[in-house]
Structure 1
Amino acid sequence: MKITVVLEVSEDGGYTAYVPVLQGCISEGETVEDALENIQEAIALYLEPLTDPIYLYKKRVLLQFSRYSH
C-alpha cells in the first residue's frame, strides 16, 4: 500500500508530516528523519483499528440501544 506523506518545515523549527487521506494523521520531528519515523508510527496507530476483527468480519456494526434511551 502506498500512502502519500506531506512534509513541511514548521514555523517553530523542525518538520511537520501529515497524510492528506487520513484526516488528523499528523506528526512532527526535529529532523526530517524524526518526522518520517514519527508519521510512520502515527499511520500504524491510525490504521490499527481497521485490523480489529469486528471490522474484518462482515464490515457491519451492530448497534444496541437501551430501552431507557433519552
Structure 2
Amino acid sequence: MELSAVLTPAREGGYVAFNPETGTATQGETVEEALANLAEATRLYLEEFPMNITFRVLLATFQIPEYLNYP
C-alpha cells in the first residue's frame, strides 16, 4: 500500500512526519527515520482501525501576500 507523507522540520531538530490519509504522525532525527517511524505508526493504526483508502492526497501550495514574518 502506498500512502502519502508530509514532512516538516521540527524546531528541536529532526522532522515531523504526517500521513493525511489516516491522520497518523510521528517524528525522527532524519527524513529516513521519520518515514520509517511513520510507516510503523500507520501500520499499527491500520491494524487497529482498518480502512479502505481509495483516495490520493493532493498536495498544493498557496500564498498569503499580506503575511508579515514576525521574529
Same fold (TM over 0.5): yes
Residue segments in structure 1 that go unaligned for 5+ positions in a row: 52-70
Q: TM-score, normalised by structure 2?
A: 0.63
Q: TM-score, normalised by structure 1?
A: 0.64
Specify the structure having the higher radius of gyration (Cα): 1
Aligned residues: 50
**Offset, 1:2:** 2.5
2:15 is equivalent to residue 5 of structure 1: no
Instruction: Report % sequence identity.
Output: 44
Partner residue, 1:26: 25
How far apart, CA to CA, are the structure 1 residues paired with 2:32 and 2:2?
19
Letter in structure 1 aligned against 2:12: D
- State the secondary structure of the residue aligned to 1:41: helix
Letter in structure 2 aligned against 1:34: E
Residue segments in structure 2 that go unaligned for 5+ positions in a row: 52-71
Per-residue Cα deviation, 1:24-64 (whole angstroms, up to 9, x for no partner) = x101001111101100001101100229xxxxxxxxxxxxx
Kindly indicate whether structure 1 or structure 2 has the higher relative contact order, using CA contacts under 8 Å at least 6 residues apart: 2
Q: Which has the higher helix share?
A: 1
Letter in structure 1 aligned against 2:22: L
Two-structure CA RMSD over aligned residues (Å): 1.5
Structure 1 segments (4+ residues) deviating >6 Å: none
**Offset, 1:3:** 1.1
